[in-house]
A and B are shown apart, each in its own frame.
Chain A
Amino acid sequence: EPEVTQTPSHQVTQMGQEVILRCVPISNHLYFYWYRQILGQKVEFLVSFYNNEISEKSEIFDDQFSVERPDGSNFTLKIRSTKLEDSAMYFCATLGTGGASGANVLTFGAGSRLTVL
């Protein structure tokens, strides 16, 4: 079964450092998402990306965050200057073409755990 692949599975970084989380979407999926889950809290939407641009972002997704699809396959989330409160699991999710029944299901990756010290 097709799956969304995320790397790294776990990253430890110092406060103020830049971090890049990577996602390989399911082939031919067109919509890409990043979600965040702080330990013990709910899964929160960060940003959606379609047609090589951000289609929506949440209040959490401030200027320190950015996303891009640098090579047509990987989808990345960059945190420019990490803070302690950025410690969380970050999930990438992808969606096919939308529209028809069954085609609007988001498939999630296993996540990247970010620990900021």
Chain B
Amino acid sequence: EDQVTQSPEALRLQEGESSSLNCSYTVSGLRGLFWYRQDPGKGPEFLFTLYSAGEEKEKERLKATLTKKESFLHITAPKPEDSATYLCAVQAVNDYKLSFGAGTTVTVRA
């Protein structure tokens, strides 16, 4: 069974204070690792897909990286609008469904 573990559960940052979120995973053949952003009471919003170890993707202040066992989401100089829950999910080669981790809730204070 696919397993996704995210840490920390919660992260409180001062505006401009960079940090990283971790996602460790086990999957029977990885098709892709996904990062989504979820705001309170809303659906997950797609950020990135990573397909192979060593791959990196960037979007504004966010950068995602992938190894064979884990992924990191780096937040550089965050702003209050980056406050959200960040979800990591894996997709196996034999399937398109996503298996999610519990998420990391990031709060950025001005």
| Partner-contacting stretch, out of A64-72, A80-88, A100-108 | A100-108
Is the interface on chain A under 10, 10 to 19, 20 to 34, or 35 or more residues? Answer: 20 to 34
Q: Is the CB of B45 within 8 A of A104?
A: no
* Selected contact of B45 from candidates A33, A48, A56, A108, CB within 8 Å: A108
Q: How many A-B residue pairs have CB under 8 A?
A: 54
Query: What's the least CB distance linking A89 to chain B, in Å?
Result: 8
Kindly report which residue of chain A lies nearest to residue B45, judged by CB atoms. Answer: A108
- A16 at the binding interface (Cβ < 8 Å): no
> Interface stretch among B20-28, B58-66, B67-75, B99-107?
B99-107
Sample 24 A-B pairs with CB under 8 A, ordered by A number. A4-B43, A31-B96, A33-B97, A42-B87, A44-B100, A45-B98, A48-B96, A48-B97, A56-B97, A95-B96, A104-B32, A104-B91, A104-B96, A105-B34, A105-B46, A106-B34, A106-B98, A107-B46, A108-B44, A108-B46, A109-B43, A110-B43, A111-B42, A111-B43
